[in-house]
Structure 1
Amino acid sequence: MPIWKRNLIVCWFGMFVTGVGMSQIAPILPLFIKELGADHAESVAQLSGIAFGVTFIISAIFSPIWGKAADKYGRKPMLLRASLGMALVVGCMGFAHNVYVLIGLRLLQGVITGYSTACTTLIATQTDQEHSGFALGTLSTANIAGSLLGPTVGGFIGESLGLRYSFFLTGALLFIAFLATVLFVKENFVRGHQKTPNFKEVWNAVPEKELTVTLFVTFFVLSVALYSVEPIITVYITQISGHAGHVALLAGITFSASGLANIVAAPKLGKLSDKIGAHKVIFTALIAAGIVFIPQAFVKNAWQLMGLRFLFGLAAAGLIPSVNILIKKITPGALTGRMFGFNMSAGYLGVFGGAVLGGQVAAWFGIRDVFFITSVLLLLNGVWVYFRVYRNPILQGAGLSQKTNETERF
């Protein structure tokens, strides 16, 4: 088996488990915080928001730092650091005896993060150009599927075995990812001895700054769209179903439908990006995703919503690999880890921003307006991408290789 395929399999498993570990706390967090001693509904809601959001905010800060370390010391050491660190931290959450210990561990989880950034950089730099679209497309399914399936996994384990076992199981899986990385991941990395550049020097060396920012914003908007429904989906299903029976199960399945669609479609759309160009796939996927959000506001039952969420997942599957492919294409190899780190920060901020947006819009305007506003964000981003990405002559190959080679010496 080629090295890039073996690396892809290990990284896929690790990113999937990391995605589960980051998101599985969502459905059980209020219950766990209540179990830890919060006895008022207001306190539970407030502490749950802090515990959930702090991980993603801190992750957004530290992702570029770990991306820089990956460029300097290699990607495999970053994979080992993140997987072992998260295995220990997430496992320890199951032993938390009060809510402040839990929040502290969630904060530490955000500091240790960086597994996804290192995986993406490793696959982008160690895979040949012919297979990069397929590899990055396949890899993109791991984190997003783990993030979307995580709430269902956490809720099921918490209900079946106990809330603390959700953390124990996730920690064990992360430790398995650590062992798999030790044994099977291979990296051809030569550590440089040149002075480490600061942010200004790094940014000055980026050949296509405006295009790079557009891709970061696109990844942010996609993350917002994926998570804007998280705070309201259980209440929405209760409204359209007209009863409270099995709402948690239906909400978990509905939320996970997008993840299943990503697993099915992302590798195929990654291959399509290799053939026709990622700039074409990203524009089409944004418009399709924006359109599919609109009828979600008019569904009459949970099954219709599940079907539309699945269609949204098919459209969104073309976005993450396309963004990663384009970042790799326009970024010098010496800066790849840092650029993927910044992109991952945009994603983490999008997760937090999406959850806040969904909750606030639902509270001030109504649940159905969450779908309309998210649709507008995606369509506006699609228009911007059309002018800045789709019609960009750089992505047709004109002058890009020369610019990249010039900054490769950086």
Structure 2
Amino acid sequence: MPIWKRNLLVCWFGLFVAGIGMSQIAPVLPLYIQHLGVHNSSSIAQLSGIAFGVTYIISAIFSPIWGHIADKYGRKPMILRASLGMALVIGCMGFAPNVYVLIGLRLLQGAITGYSTACTALIATQTDKEHAGYALGTLSTGNIAGSLLGPIIGGLIEENLGFQPVFFITGALLLIAFILTALFVKESYVRQNKKADNLKKIWESVPEKNLTIILLVTFFVLTLGLYSIEPIVTVYVTQLTKGTAHVALLAGLAFSASGLANIIAAPRLGKLSDKIGAHKVIIFALVVAGIIYIPQAFVKNPWQLIGLRFLLGLAMAGLNPSVNTLVKKITPDSLTGGVFGFTMSAGYLGVFGGSVIGGQVAGHLGIQYVFFITSTLLLINAIWVYFKVYRVICLKEKSPI
């Protein structure tokens, strides 16, 4: 097996588990906080929001920093650091004596992030150009699938085994990812001895700043769109079922449908981007995703919602790998980790922003408006990408627009 494929398999498993580790606490968090001694419903809601959101906010801050360190010392050491650190921290959450220790551990989890950044930079720099889109497309399914399936997995573990095993099992899986990385991941890397630059100097060294900013915003918008339904999916399914049984199961299916579709489509669309160009896949996927959001506001039953969420996942699957492929194309290898760190920060902010905006819009305007606003954002982003990315790249390639 080629080295890049072996690296890809190990990193995919690690990203899948890391995605679970970041998101599995969502369905059990209020119950766990109550288990830790907080019984006031208002306090539980407030503390749950803080405990869930703090990890993503801190991750957004630290991701570029760890990405820059990966550029200087190598991506494999950063993968090992992050996987071992997350294994220990998430495992310790099962022993939290009170909610404040739990929040502190969630904050620490965000601070030791960098796993996704290092894995993406490793695959981007160690994979040949002909297979870059396919490799990055396959890699993207790991984190997305883990993030989307994490709440369901966490809920199932809690229901059958209790609160603490949620954290112990996730920590054990991350420890396995650490061991697999140590044994099987190979990196051809020459350590840089020059003095490390700060993030501001790294950004000043980026050759295509305008295009990079557009790609970062695009990554933020697509992640925001993917997670905007997270806080409202159960409520929406409850409305659609009119109080019938199996609401939790149908809500779980609606939530995970896009993740399943992403797993199926991302490698294929990544391979397609290798053939026809990532900029073409991005513009097509943005338009299709923006359109698919609209009928979700008018569904009459949960199965229609599940079907549309699956179609949405197929479209969104083309965005993540294509954005990463373009980032790789316009970024020197010496800056790849730092720039992918900024990309991951945009993604973490999108997860947090999507969860917050989805809940706020649904509460003030109604659930249907979550889909309308998300669709509008994606279509506006598509127009921006068309004029600032698609046309520019087509002109550079001297291709007909």
Same fold? TM cut 0.5:
yes
Amino acid at match of 1:140: S
CA distance in 2, matches of 1:167, 1:244: 32
Distance across 2 between alignment mates of 1:357 and 1:395? 37
Deviation digits for residues 117-173 of structure 1 (CA, Å, limit 9, x no counterpart): 000000000000011111001001100011001111011111111121111110010
The aligned counterpart of 1:206 is 206
Match of 1:179 in 2: 179
Matched letter for residue 289 of structure 2: A
Q: Between 165-174 and 189-198, report the one with greater CA deviation.
A: 189-198
Cα distance in 2 between the residues matched to 1:287 and 1:270:
17
Alpha-carbon offset, residue 190 of structure 1: 0.1
Once the two structures are superposed, residues 272-314 of structure 1 have per-residue CA deviations (whole angstroms, 9 ceiling, x without a partner) of: 0000000000000000001000000011111111000000000
The C-alpha deviation readout for 1:225-257, integer Å capped at 9, x for no partner, is: 011101100000000100152222211111000
Partner of 1:123: 123
Residue in structure 1 matched with residue 36 of structure 2 by the alignment: 36
Partner of 1:144: 144
Whether contact under 8 Å (2:68, 2:199) holds in the other structure is no
State the partner residue of 2:106: 106
Q: Which amino acid aligns with 1:253?
A: L
Task: Determine helix, strand or coil for the equivalent of 2:6.
Answer: helix
Residue identity in the other structure for 2:49: G
| Alignment deviations for residues 322-366 of structure 1 (CA, whole Å, 9 cap, x no partner) | 000000000011100000000000000010000010010011101
Q: How much has 1:394 moved relative to structure 2?
A: 7.3
Deviations 1:90-134 (A, max 9, x none): 011111121111101000000011100000000000000011111
Q: 1:397 to 1:193 in 2, by over 3 A?
A: farther
Tell me the residue number matched to 2:296.
Answer: 296
C-alpha spacing 1:135/1:199, structure 2 compared with 1 (3 Å): same
Matches within 5 A, 1:195-344: 195-243=195-243, 245-344=245-344
Query: Would you say the 8 A contact 2:226–2:354 is kept in 1?
Result: yes
TM-score (norm 2): 0.98
Q: Does 1:9 align with 2:9?
A: yes
User: Which letter maps to 1:46?
Assistant: Q
Aligned-pair identity (%): 73
Matched, 1:60 2:60: yes
Provide TM-score, normalisation by structure 1. 0.96
State the distance in 2 between where 1:12 and 1:305 align: 28
Kindly provide the amino acid, as one letter, of the partner of residue 175 in structure 2: F
Deviation track 1:19-46 (CA, whole Å, cap 9, x = no partner) reads: 0110111111111111111111111110
Between the aligned partners of 1:395 and 1:346, the Cα distance in structure 2 is 28
Aligned residues: 398
Per-residue deviation at 1:395? 7.8
Aligned partner of residue 26 in structure 1, secondary structure:
coil
Structure 1 segments (4+ residues) deviating >4 Å: 394-398
**Structure 1 CA distance for aligned equivalents of residues 172 and 165 of structure 2:** 10
Give the Cα–Cα distance (whole angstroms) in 2 for the partners of residues 337 and 370 of structure 1. Answer: 34
AA aligned to 1:261 is A
Unaligned 5+ segments in structure 2 are: none
The CA distance in 2 between the partners of 1:91 and 1:248, in whole Å, is 27
d(CA) in 2 for partners of 1:168 and 1:206? Answer: 41
2:159 aligned counterpart, secondary structure: helix
Deviates more, 1:247-256 or 1:317-326: 247-256
Q: SS of the residue aligned with 1:196? A: coil
Q: Is the 8 A contact 1:152 1:253 kept in 2?
A: no
How far does residue 77 in structure 1 lie from its aligned partner after superposition? 0.3
Q: Which residue of 2 aligns with 1:96?
A: 96
Mapped to 2, the partners of 1:323 and 1:395 lie a distance apart of 19
Asked if 2 retains the 8 angstrom alpha-carbon contact of 1:389 and 1:395, the reply is: no
CA distance in 1, matches of 2:346, 2:290: 19
Q: Which residue type is aligned with residue 185 of structure 1?
A: V
Partner of 1:22: 22
